[in-house]
């Protein structure tokens, strides 16, 4: 059985990390797996790239044309929009690969067009890392058109210009005649896909993102703090996201509000740690000290940071299954976050952390205070032990890999039972 995983990068962004970890996990489980990317930073021999001289010349042209199209849409939804009009060399490499299964991940940025996905000759499994596959052009929707179908009458009032989302969704509806097998890393995303107008009749199941719990393991808290030059006697509240607090969806402003409420409590003495980006100008208003660690590119540094912290706060307004949460659990670090998206897959309320009411800053502050009240120095505490156990039983690479191995076998068995003439018709 040969499987080709497809993602835009092997290292940049949460989807890239998740895709690479799943690829590594199934290889360890005996699957002949290859990772095909447009941008390779890891140098893994089992990773192939679509980059060549022709791609380097044509790629900027495709991106320029895509920006021209997306610029015709006027919208209040600030997330990225992808019309998927063009493909790079990935489509040709997949068609010529002879692989048994194409396992798609995050294939935007002109990696695979909507038409190219429809024309793949082999069975397709698609692990979703956001909502794009069943929406229009948006990666996260702030309305429910994905459920009802994109029509003229249900366009949100904050949009104007070209109805790009309706046009892109209609192309998916028209071209994707053959159902793909959808995998959602969280129950939340699986439920959305199952209720969507586009994928309601497609096979959908939940398989979480994987992590190597041997590599990602707790470091003694005192040792981690000393290695990072952090104080030993101050509770540390951790936040991390690409770009720091720049992405509104990640909710750094909501964390600031929660900490602002806590700053009035004279018995608290904490420090905020932020990785993934630089200082936010609003953070200067906090009475608590903040340490900005910038981008941490290696796993050891991240392990030390998670282990040094007393909790990781994930105040996202909307999120699927953030890798930071899985990594922190593996390092025995409790989580605090809002009950949105896939956060309930990560946080067992008052078991592995605290699940606050959605976008309720006061409840988020209560969660931070509650975890601090459980604060101890080692993994013998119930929260730290429960966090680690949750990672080992649900997200450990062998556990996830076995679920994918069974899925691959099932998809191949089902595909073999379909007459070849019908397979050719549905993929044309």
Tell me the C-alpha distance between 15 and 38, whole Å. 14
What phi, psi does 183 have (nearest 5°)? Answer: -115, 130
pLDDT band at 418 (very low <50, low <70, confident <90, very high): low
Render pLDDT for 220-244 as a digit per residue (tens, 0 to 9): 999 999 999 999 889 999 998 776 6
In this prediction, residues 51-73 reach a mean pLDDT of: 82
Token pair 């068995």 is found at 413
Q: Would you state the pLDDT for residue 379? A: 42
Q: Would you state the pLDDT for residue 230? A: 94
Estimate to the nearest angstrom the gap between the alpha carbon of 137 and the chain centroid: 17
Token pair 């402003």 is found at 253
Q: Worst-scoring range by mean pLDDT, 25-29, 274-278, 419-423?
A: 419-423
Which segments of 299-381 does DSSP mark as H helices, in order? 299-308, 323-330, 343-346, 361-373
Q: Would you state the pLDDT for residue 53? A: 63
Estimate to the nearest angstrom the gap between the alpha carbon of 315 and the chain centroid: 15
> What 3 state SS string does 358-394 have?
CCCHHHHHHHHHHHHHCCCCCCCCHHHHHHHHHHHHH
Q: What is the set of domains in the chain, with CATH numbers?
A: 2-210+396-426 (3.40.50.2000), 221-393 (3.40.50.2000)
Tell me the C-alpha distance between 362 and 348, whole Å. 19
Token pair 């290889």 is found at 27
**What CA–CA distances, in Å, run from 190 to 59, 128, 273, 347?**
33, 9, 32, 18
Tell me the C-alpha distance between 156 and 159, whole Å. 6
What phi, psi does 281 have (nearest 5°)? Answer: -60, -25
Tell me the C-alpha distance between 127 and 172, whole Å. 17
| Higher-scoring residue by pLDDT: 101, 56 | 101
In this prediction, residues 289-309 reach a mean pLDDT of: 90
Tell me the C-alpha distance between 62 and 57, whole Å. 10
Q: Which residues are registered as beta bridge partners of 182?
A: 126, 204
Q: Is the pLDDT of residue 91 over 60?
A: yes
Q: Which residues are registered as beta bridge partners of 73?
A: 161
Q: Would you state the pLDDT for residue 281? A: 52
Render pLDDT for 113-132 as a digit per residue (tens, 0 to 9): 999 999 999 999 999 999 99
* Phi/psi-derived region of residue 229, left when phi > 0, alpha when psi is between -120 and 50, beta in every other case: left
Q: Would you state the pLDDT for residue 168? A: 97
Q: Is the pLDDT of residue 83 over 80?
A: yes
Q: Would you state the pLDDT for residue 250? A: 87
- The pTM (predicted TM-score) of the whole model is 0.89
What is the residue-averaged pLDDT of the chain? 88
Angle value at C-alpha 11, between 404 and 81, nearest 5 degrees: 90
Q: Is the pLDDT of residue 89 over 90?
A: no
pLDDT band at 295 (very low <50, low <70, confident <90, very high): confident
In this prediction, residues 337-363 reach a mean pLDDT of: 94
Using N-to-C axis directions, what is the helix angle for 361-373 and 252-262, rounded to 10°? 60
Q: Would you state the pLDDT for residue 217? A: 96
Tell me the C-alpha distance between 198 and 173, whole Å. 6
In this prediction, residues 144-171 reach a mean pLDDT of: 95
Q: Which residues contact 1 (CB under 8 A, 6 or more apart)?
A: 31, 32, 100, 101, 408, 409, 412
Q: Would you state the pLDDT for residue 377? A: 45
Q: Is the pLDDT of residue 253 over 90?
A: no
DSSP for 120-187, written as a single string: -SS-EEEE-SSSGGGSSSBSS-SSSHHHH---STT--TT-EES-HHHHHHHHHHHH--SPPEEEESSH
């Amino acid at each position: 059985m040969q499987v080709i995983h497809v993602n835009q990068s092997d290292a940049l962004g949460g989807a890239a990390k998740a895709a690479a970890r799943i690829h590594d996990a199934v290889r360890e489980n005996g699957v002949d797996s290859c990772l095909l990317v447009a941008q390779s930073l890891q140098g893994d021999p089992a990773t192939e790239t679509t980059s060549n001289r022709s791609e380097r010349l044509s790629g900027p042209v495709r991106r320029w044309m895509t920006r021209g199209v997306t610029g015709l849409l006027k919208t209040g939804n600030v997330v990225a929009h992808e019309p998927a009009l063009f493909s790079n060399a990935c489509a040709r490499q997949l068609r010529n690969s002879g692989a048994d299964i194409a396992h798609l991940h995050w294939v935007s940025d002109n990696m695979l067009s909507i038409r190219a996905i429809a024309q793949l000759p082999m069975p397709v499994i698609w692990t979703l890392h956001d909502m794009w596959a069943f929406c229009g052009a948006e990666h996260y929707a702030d309305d429910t058109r994905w459920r009802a179908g994109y029509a003229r009458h249900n366009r949100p009032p904050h949009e104007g210009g070209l109805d790009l989302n309706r046009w892109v969704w209609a192309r998916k509806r028209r071209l994707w005649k053959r159902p793909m097998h959808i995998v959602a890393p969280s129950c939340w995303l699986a439920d959305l896909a199952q209720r969507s107008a586009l994928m309601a009749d497609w096979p959908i199941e939940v398989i979480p993102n994987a992590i190597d719990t041997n590599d990602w393991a707790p470091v003694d808290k005192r040792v981690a703090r000393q290695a990072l030059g952090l104080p030993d006697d101050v509770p540390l509240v951790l936040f991390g996201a690409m770009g720091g607090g720049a992405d509104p969806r990640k909710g750094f402003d909501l964390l600031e509000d929660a900490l602002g409420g806590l700053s009035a409590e004279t018995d608290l003495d904490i420090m905020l740690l932020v990785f993934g980006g630089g200082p936010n100008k609003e953070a200067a208003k906090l009475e608590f000290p903040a340490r900005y660690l910038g981008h941490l590119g290696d796993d050891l540094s991240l392990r030390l940071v998670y282990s040094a912290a007393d909790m990781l706060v994930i105040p996202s307004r909307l999120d699927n299954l953030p890798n930071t949460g899985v990594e922190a659990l593996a390092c025995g670090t409790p989580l605090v976050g809002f009950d949105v998206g896939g956060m309930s897959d990560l946080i067992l309320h008052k078991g592995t952390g605290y699940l606050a009411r959605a976008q309720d800053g006061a409840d988020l502050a209560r969660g931070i205070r509650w975890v601090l009240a459980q604060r101890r120095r080692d993994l013998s505490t119930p929260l730290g032990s429960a966090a680690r156990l949750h990672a080992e039983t649900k997200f450990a690479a062998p556990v996830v890999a076995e679920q994918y191995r069974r899925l691959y076998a099932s998809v191949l068995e089902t595909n073999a039972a379909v007459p070849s003439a019908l397979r050719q018709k549905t993929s044309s």
